[in-house]
Amino acid sequence: MKVLVTGGAGFIGSAVIRHILSHTDDSVVNVDKLTYAGNLESLAAVSGSERYRFEQVDICDQAALERVFAAHRPGAVMHLAAESHVDRSIEGPAAFVQTNIVGTYILLEVCRQYWQGLTGAARDAFRFHHVSTDEVFGDLDGPEGLFTESTPYAPSSPYSASKASSDHLVRAWYRTYGLPVLLTNCSNNYGPYHFPEKLIPLMILNALEGKPLPVYGRGDQVRDWLYVEDHARALCQVMARGRLGETYNIGGHNEKSNLQVVESLCDLLQELAPVAQRRYRDLITFVQDRPGHDHRYAIDAGKIERELGWAPRETFESGLRKTVQWYLDNQTWCARVQDGSYQRERLGLGKEKVL
């Protein structure tokens, strides 16, 4: 099968593409606008495959998407392209509305027209898999309870509101037009190739440079953490075997407070990258909390486990150790992201930063 992956140069998208090309016989068309968070260097290990093609296209560009579909004739779409950083959504929500809502609408329409033109087995086999987040559910009241697939939506940030909107669009295109869709909502991902504005890579790189480790509020916000390669494997199982029109929650069974995560990172770095006269935990600083900050997310992943036999392979401890070691072993990738050279060379720019 040929799978078109939107946002394939991003953190989760690149993990999905690496998984498909390394563990299946499927081919991939990577459609990515290459915003600041899109990094083709994350696909260096597989980009030479004869089964891989890249198209630099904005999902808001309908004509360009139509050209891509006509040229490549995909058998399935995995939609991961999104603006995803909550702080950026608070500072500038317009980009989130444009990409996550308008872009999803345009992609759905292009897919619908393409699918309606298919016949026979190709039409029956086509799938549109929309990848979303547990943040659409808002937060849980207290230490008990889990998000299920039927939890009402209550988004708190411009980011989560835009993702909730895109989820509703996908369900409407299934209900109204019969477009064969699948949806997944995942918990916080972590792992290799994560852009360093997100919590775990930011803390690792700040700590290695001796910079403060800023923690919002008291650091008592709780998240369920999912290793990105476990997530990629789950997404491929949903694509292959999920029931049409259904939603599957994907979680790691690893609830940790933000402070626990940062302290665990500090302890691993103390073991794996000790520095004389430095105690990494001493770098932790508490800063003013984010507006509208959700307190607790936690996923009930029972449905995907029962129906598709998926379960995470990594514990938080094993996944975090792999993640820290990857960042220690891949300082060149990190440096090129931090100084912007991963973008400058592609854009043909000079030494100025482009983030």
Q: How far is CA 28 from the centre of its chain?
A: 17
Both tokens assigned to 288: 């003013």
Residue from 119, 30, 139, 133 nearest 85 by CA: 133
Report CA-CA distances (Å) from 122 to 12, 43, 107, 263.
27, 28, 19, 50
Q: Phi/psi at 247 (nearest 5 deg)?
A: -110, 140
135 is catalytic: yes
* DSSP one-letter code for 59: T
Annotated catalytic residue, options 32, 134, 263, 294: 134
Give 226-248 as a DSSP string. Answer: EEHHHHHHHHHHHHHHPPTT-EE
Residue from 118, 30, 121 nearest 77 by CA: 30
Whole-angstrom Cα distance, residue 244 to residue 128?
A: 9
134 is catalytic: yes
159 is catalytic: yes
Helix (H) or strand (E) holding 52: strand 52-55
**Contact indicator for 184, 238 with CB cutoff of 8 Å:** yes
Annotated catalytic residue, options 83, 105, 139, 159: 159
Annotated catalytic residue, options 32, 135, 139, 167: 135
Catalytic residues: 134-135, 159
